[in-house]
A and B are shown apart, each in its own frame.
Chain A
Amino acid sequence: MDPTPVAPAVIAHARGLVKTYGTGETTVRALDGIDVDFARGRLTAIMGPSGSGKSTLMHCMAGLDRATAGSVVVDGDEIGRMSERQLTRLRRTRLGFVFQAYNLVPTLTAAENITLPLDIARRPVDRAHFDAVVAAVGLGDRLSHRPSELSGGQQQRVACARALVSRPAVVFADEPTGNLDSHSSGEVLGFLRRSVDDLGQSVVMVTHDPNAASIAHRVVFLGDGRLVGELLDPTAGTILDALRELS
């Protein structure tokens, strides 16, 4: 069926992905036929100007939004045909999320926030893995604190730990550093990259910050709902060049 073959090292891919908003004259094509692969065990960044469709692409890939046409396969399963219940289970067991802000449940402690996906799925907490993740984010001494008692960077690191603790097939991060200062950004990005390098995690990250994107193995560029370019092993400099070229 698929015209383009899918390599085994691909954890998630989209084929002919279309997402339109509105009807008739006011129709907006946020995604206009996208074919993209995200590699297993790699950090892929999605970049593009505002309105290019990068967030929509991520939402469709993560099952948070339904595509108008085309197929999305995550970890071997077509999610376009999944029911709401199946999507919930998919998110619970095989996906991890890091959002831009307001990322934690304020009534739970940092540790409780981290294990929340496991609690919801009623899965036992793998202590060793939990400790490894917590050590990786460097939060060992703040586990019993509430989110309101943590700095923005610490909160985002808790969110990262939460995304990783259930060993998801893929972590989707939507502008994870958007609300952070440069120091905290560096910590969070460093952690995401380490999770890929050390834990073999697959991460897809949407960002508009070339510095953030530069830690990725690969950057894909979107423009007007289409894939307009990509860059392997980027640096901030090559990304800036590419962006300049695209605009």
Chain B
Amino acid sequence: MRRVALRGIRAHLVRFVLSVLAVTLGVAFVAGTFSLRAMLSSTFNDIVESSLTGDVYLRGAEAAGSTSPTGQGGFGEARNAIPIALTDVATAVDGVALALPGLNGPAVLVGADGVAVSQGQAPSFAQALDPADPTVRLVAGRAPVGPAEIALASETLAASGLTLGQTTPAVIAGTLAQVAVVGEVDYGAPLAGATVLFLDVATAVQAYAPAGLVQSITVYADPGVSPQTLVDRLQPVVTADAAVRAEAVTGDELRDDARAQIETALGFIETFLLVFAGISLFVGGFIIANTFAMSVRQRLREFALLRALGASPVQVFASILVQAAVVGLLGSALGVLAGFALVSVLRVVLGRFGMSLSGTIPLEPSTVALSLAIGTVVSLAAAALPARRAALTPPVEAMRDDVVVQERTLRWRALSGSLLTALGVAAVVLAVVAPESDGGQRLGFGAAAVLVGVLLLAPVIARASLGVLAAVFVATLPPIGRLARGNVTRNPRRTANTAGALMIGMALVGASSVLAASAQDSTRSIVAETSTADFVLRSPTAAIPADALAAVAALPDVEAADAVTLGSVLIGRPGAGAGGPGPATVVVGLDPGAFGRTMDIERTDGSLDRLADGEIAAQQGAAADAGWTIGTELELTSTTGSRTVTVGAIIDSPAIQAPIVLPEAVFDDLVPAAQAAVNLVFVKAVPGADRTVLRRDLTAAVAPFVVVSVLDNEQFASELAGQVDQVLVILYALLGLSVVIAILGIVNTLALSVIERTREIGLMRAVGLGRLQLAGTVMIESVLTALFGTVVGVVVGVALAAAMPTVFSDVGLTTLAIPWGTLGWILVLAGVVGVLAAVWPAIRAARLPVLQAVTVD
């Protein structure tokens, strides 16, 4: 029986090529994701290994809010800061060879082209260059001395286009300065796109430890002294003063912490990508199922013969599964190679853009095994139903002249599909009616149920829907329109399965486009409702230098420049004690005077005036979740200490993307300047000031800082909305693969049905159907299939996405916008997809010699 199965594949290799390709694409995505993760993992591990080389680290004993909301500031969980003076204390301990305080913080470097040097979202920071530091090595020039000199990491130097000796503006800890590049430093690790500046120690202390506090101190041991011994010696010394709240840990422990944190972050990326890989594989499963269903249908007589010769149903079943396994294994083996190649290309491309990543792409046996297993299992699962059908062929079919294929009834699918769709719709309605109780979860479940339900229902609605879609072709292109309609409706199950693959992708594309349009509209309306400022200052680095803020505030036409500053603190209830200080949370610092001046914030309870007295404002949603009301006391803990504050106002403002707003005074007290980031500055003009002049003055004032742009409210809204577009592009690209696989599915079904209909095609050619007409028929079939999948998919996707603004209004999605234009283009795209998919099958059909087609068995 195995021989029959393998011969079957060899004889009909072409029929399985596209199935193999579908598996290959899906598995390539999976394998690529795994190797990408492994590569990033090894890149960041290299960074950890080469940048955290200390034997022992001194750090804060208590957890605190994260060091910086913009990502700068190294690895490990954020903790309270410790006095830099501990460096000297540690150096004095026996067995300590060297102790170096961790001095780093945000910095912006202006490149030779006058633009800030930055690689996407990668951090840009400066750190102290201590000649004794073993992790960095000066490779050219000399070490910087004084505040007017810097050195650059080799990659940063190359990316900036600067040369040694050149002078350029740089913003270090919010201060703009002209600095000379005097040295080039080998960082000893791949930078992964980070921009790194080096300062002399005194300048770094001035910039990043003005209060004498640092995050950590790196300690190197004398030869022969083990890290644990050193920890045992340092621990009593650093904990001598309880108020210092410091502790000593081994380098290994810190590195393990750092790695664990990286793995968690990469795990999210991996999960995100795997979701899309899963969609692609699911879509690929449709192609395999269709291929095997059609192959089984054509070979029913062969199976009947095998059964008549004594093969058991199990043997027939197994023979199909063997074929599926071959398809799966072959496809996934190619997929693993393709995935590996994909990541290699990605690495080269990212390298071109200055993102140096680890030199090797680890191809772990477990990745290979898992990818092969996934591809094979998908293939086997997809072939199971057709195989069952083959196995149940009665032997008597072999004796019949003409095997009549009995189409099974669609009743089961209609029933289960309706039930699932109804359940899903109910869940979505429930989510919309009561968004506050698990709305998101219910919507997610409902959406999944509706999608699967509609997939099940697709063959039931196919005949009617295709009839409507085909009407235009039937009317304009007789007789081929009618022939094409007949072909797509003759086997609704097959057409629906083919279209189903496209349906999934298009539902997601449709939902994404609605979500994006709604998010953009929401952003615009939130800006319009909230901002009463004349201008908004914004920076792509998400941190406006303090000097820029000062320069703007000093302009005569500026009545007020209100900075929205982001920081991070731990929020808990006073006296929580054993419960710990609570989770780290992003908080906003704001001048209480900004309310009503540059910002219009909706208040639901309490009074915003109380912020002037040091009380805080909490967002309605967060307050409801945590049970805060007016008068609730909260304990805020940061790197510099703790403070108890009272909730004085409850606000409802999607514009402020943090659960808590602190008055500026409280914020400055809790968050040191080096760990705060001025996210936005709202500028109000003096009454009667000329806006055009003010704009010019503002632009001139922030120009030296390079990274700050001056926007009016409309531009500000557009820029925020533009960010949604960037996300959308990535989403479309990831969904693109599933659409490509779906197109392969249409090609596959058409090509197989052309083979299946060879006789019929020959007959029509014999009675005078021209080649072009035949090709046109195949093309219309293809377009109809693509349109059916797209229309149903988009309708489902848009309908589900329409529920989102109601469910997620509390996270800033306030208005529903349906991008009719985009949806129109998606339909046009579906038509193009249909035409493209038909090219090869149509040519194949048109090339069939009439005589052979008529006489084929």
With A107-B483, A107-B487, A179-B401 already in contact, the answer to whether A91 and B854 are too (CB < 8 A) is: no
Q: How far is the CA of A101 from the CA of B759 in the complex (A)?
A: 10
Q: Flag if B764 contacts A105 (CB, 8 Å).
A: yes
Q: Flag if A116 contacts B854 (CB, 8 Å).
A: no
Task: Name the segment of A36-44, A82-90, A187-195, A231-239 touching the other chain.
Answer: A82-90
Partner pick for B764 among A93, A116, A179, CB 8 A cutoff: A116
Q: Say how far A106's CB is from chain B's closest CB, in angstroms.
A: 7
B760 within 8 Å of A by Cβ? yes
Q: Flag if B763 contacts A64 (CB, 8 Å).
A: no
Within 8 A of B (CB), among A87-110: 88-89, 91-93, 96-97, 99, 101-108
For B760, the chain A residues whose CB sits under 8 A away are: 102, 105-106
Q: Flag if A102 contacts B759 (CB, 8 Å).
A: yes
Partner pick for B766 among A64, A101, A107, A122, CB 8 A cutoff: A64
Task: Name the segment of B231-239, B502-510, B587-595, B768-776 touching the other chain.
Answer: B768-776
Q: Flag if A85 contacts B770 (CB, 8 Å).
A: yes
A121 within 8 Å of B by Cβ? yes
Q: How far is the CA of A64 from the CA of B849 in the complex (A)?
A: 9
Q: Flag if A88 contacts B770 (CB, 8 Å).
A: yes
Closest B residue, CB atoms, query A55: B855
Q: How far is the CA of A102 from the CA of B485 in the complex (A)?
A: 20
B494 within 8 Å of A by Cβ? no
With A102-B760, A117-B768 already in contact, the answer to whether A122 and B483 are too (CB < 8 A) is: no
Q: How far is the CA of A92 from the CA of B767 in the complex (A)?
A: 5
Within 8 A of B (CB), among A193-234: none
With A64-B854, A119-B478 already in contact, the answer to whether A88 and B768 are too (CB < 8 A) is: yes
Q: Flag if A112 contacts B482 (CB, 8 Å).
A: yes
For A54, the chain B residues whose CB sits under 8 A away are: none
Q: Flag if B767 contacts A116 (CB, 8 Å).
A: yes
Q: How far is the CA of A85 from the CA of B765 in the complex (A)?
A: 11
Q: How far is the CA of A70 from the CA of B759 in the complex (A)?
A: 29
Closest B residue, CB atoms, query A99: B854
For B146, the chain A residues whose CB sits under 8 A away are: none
A157 within 8 Å of B by Cβ? no
B851 within 8 Å of A by Cβ? yes
Q: Flag if B486 contacts A116 (CB, 8 Å).
A: no
Q: How far is the CA of A92 from the CA of B850 in the complex (A)?
A: 13
Q: Flag if B479 contacts A105 (CB, 8 Å).
A: no
Q: Flag if A91 contacts B766 (CB, 8 Å).
A: yes
For B24, the chain A residues whose CB sits under 8 A away are: none
Most buried by B among A84, A96, A102, A122: A102
Q: Flag if A102 contacts B768 (CB, 8 Å).
A: no
Partner pick for B490 among A96, A99, A106, CB 8 A cutoff: A106
Q: Flag if B764 contacts A88 (CB, 8 Å).
A: no
* A: number of interface residues (CB 8 Å): 31
Closest B residue, CB atoms, query A112: B482
Q: Flag if A91 contacts B763 (CB, 8 Å).
A: no
Q: Flag if A84 contacts B773 (CB, 8 Å).
A: no
A128 within 8 Å of B by Cβ? no
For B770, the chain A residues whose CB sits under 8 A away are: 85, 88-89, 92, 120
Q: Say how far A21's CB is from chain B's closest CB, in angstroms.
A: 12
Q: Flag if A105 contacts B763 (CB, 8 Å).
A: yes
Q: How far is the CA of A182 from the CA of B763 in the complex (A)?
A: 25
Q: Say how far A62's CB is from chain B's closest CB, in angstroms.
A: 8
Q: Say how far A14's CB is from chain B's closest CB, in angstroms.
A: 17
A50 within 8 Å of B by Cβ? no
B404 within 8 Å of A by Cβ? yes
Within 8 A of A (CB), among B472-497: 478-479, 482-483, 485-487, 489-490
Most buried by A among B401, B402, B482, B763: B763
For B486, the chain A residues whose CB sits under 8 A away are: 105, 107-108
Within 8 A of A (CB), among B735-783: 759-760, 763-771, 773
A144 within 8 Å of B by Cβ? no
For A15, the chain B residues whose CB sits under 8 A away are: none
Q: Flag if A91 contacts B771 (CB, 8 Å).
A: no
Q: Flag if A120 contacts B768 (CB, 8 Å).
A: yes
For B768, the chain A residues whose CB sits under 8 A away are: 88-89, 91-93, 117, 120-121
Q: How far is the CA of A24 from the CA of B37 in the complex (A)?
A: 62
A162 within 8 Å of B by Cβ? yes
A148 within 8 Å of B by Cβ? yes
Q: Flag if B404 contacts A148 (CB, 8 Å).
A: yes
Q: Flag if A84 contacts B763 (CB, 8 Å).
A: no
Task: Map CB proximity to B onto A46-88 as digits: 1 under 8 Å, 0 otherwise.
Answer: 0000000000000100001100000000000000000011001
Q: How far is the CA of A32 from the CA of B489 in the complex (A)?
A: 47
Most buried by B among A105, A117, A119: A105
Q: Say how far A151's CB is from chain B's closest CB, in angstroms.
A: 12
For B485, the chain A residues whose CB sits under 8 A away are: 107
For A179, the chain B residues whose CB sits under 8 A away are: 401
Q: Say how far A41's CB is from chain B's closest CB, in angstroms.
A: 22
For A120, the chain B residues whose CB sits under 8 A away are: 479, 764, 767-770, 773
Q: Say how far A178's CB is from chain B's closest CB, in angstroms.
A: 11
For A108, the chain B residues whose CB sits under 8 A away are: 482-483, 486
Most buried by B among A89, A103, A148, A179: A103
Q: Say how far B130's CB is from chain A's closest CB, in angstroms.
A: 82
Closest B residue, CB atoms, query A87: B850
For B850, the chain A residues whose CB sits under 8 A away are: 64
Q: How far is the CA of A65 from the CA of B764 in the complex (A)?
A: 16
Within 8 A of A (CB), among B838-857: 850-851, 854
Q: How far is the CA of A154 from the CA of B119 in the complex (A)?
A: 75
For B771, the chain A residues whose CB sits under 8 A away are: 84, 88
Q: How far is the CA of A121 from the CA of B854 in the complex (A)?
A: 20
For A92, the chain B residues whose CB sits under 8 A away are: 767-770
Partner pick for B483 among A85, A105, A162, CB 8 A cutoff: A105
Q: Flag if A64 contacts B851 (CB, 8 Å).
A: yes
Q: How far is the CA of A112 from the CA of B479 in the complex (A)?
A: 10
Q: How far is the CA of A108 from the CA of B760 in the complex (A)?
A: 12
Q: Say how far A186's CB is from chain B's closest CB, in angstroms.
A: 20
Q: How far is the CA of A101 from the CA of B857 in the complex (A)?
A: 10
Closest B residue, CB atoms, query A60: B851
Q: Flag if A119 contacts B479 (CB, 8 Å).
A: yes
Q: How far is the CA of A89 from the CA of B765 in the complex (A)?
A: 10
Q: Flag if A162 contacts B767 (CB, 8 Å).
A: yes
Closest B residue, CB atoms, query A97: B766
Q: Flag if B401 contacts A59 (CB, 8 Å).
A: no
Most buried by A among B482, B760, B767, B771: B767
Q: Flag if A65 contacts B404 (CB, 8 Å).
A: no
Q: Flag if B854 contacts A65 (CB, 8 Å).
A: no
Q: How far is the CA of A162 from the CA of B767 in the complex (A)?
A: 9
For A106, the chain B residues whose CB sits under 8 A away are: 490, 760
Q: Say how far B696's CB is from chain A's closest CB, in angstroms.
A: 70
Q: How far is the CA of A179 from the CA of B485 in the complex (A)?
A: 30
Q: How far is the CA of A215 from the CA of B773 in the complex (A)?
A: 37
Q: How far is the CA of A162 from the CA of B770 in the complex (A)?
A: 17
Q: Say how far B743's CB is from chain A's closest CB, in angstroms.
A: 24
Q: How far is the CA of A108 from the CA of B769 in the complex (A)?
A: 15
Q: How far is the CA of A107 from the CA of B489 in the complex (A)?
A: 8
For A117, the chain B residues whose CB sits under 8 A away are: 767-768
Task: Map CB proximity to B onto A111-136 as digits: 1 under 8 Å, 0 otherwise.
Answer: 01000110111100000000000000
For B482, the chain A residues whose CB sits under 8 A away are: 108, 112, 119
For B851, the chain A residues whose CB sits under 8 A away are: 59, 64-65
Per CB-CB distance, the 6 closest pairs between chain A and chain B, nearest first, are A92-B768, A107-B486, A119-B479, A64-B851, A117-B767, A91-B768
Given A88-B771, A97-B763, A120-B770, 12 additional A-B pairs, CB 8 A: A88-B768, A91-B768, A92-B767, A92-B768, A97-B766, A99-B766, A107-B489, A116-B479, A116-B767, A119-B482, A121-B768, A162-B767
25 contacts between A and B (CB under 8 A): A64-B850, A64-B854, A84-B771, A88-B765, A88-B768, A88-B769, A89-B770, A92-B768, A92-B769, A97-B767, A101-B402, A102-B763, A105-B760, A105-B763, A105-B764, A106-B490, A108-B486, A112-B482, A117-B768, A119-B478, A119-B479, A120-B767, A121-B768, A148-B404, A162-B767
Residue ranges of B at the interface with A (Cβ–Cβ < 8 Å): 401-402, 404, 478-479, 482-483, 485-487, 489-490, 759-760, 763-771, 773, 850-851, 854
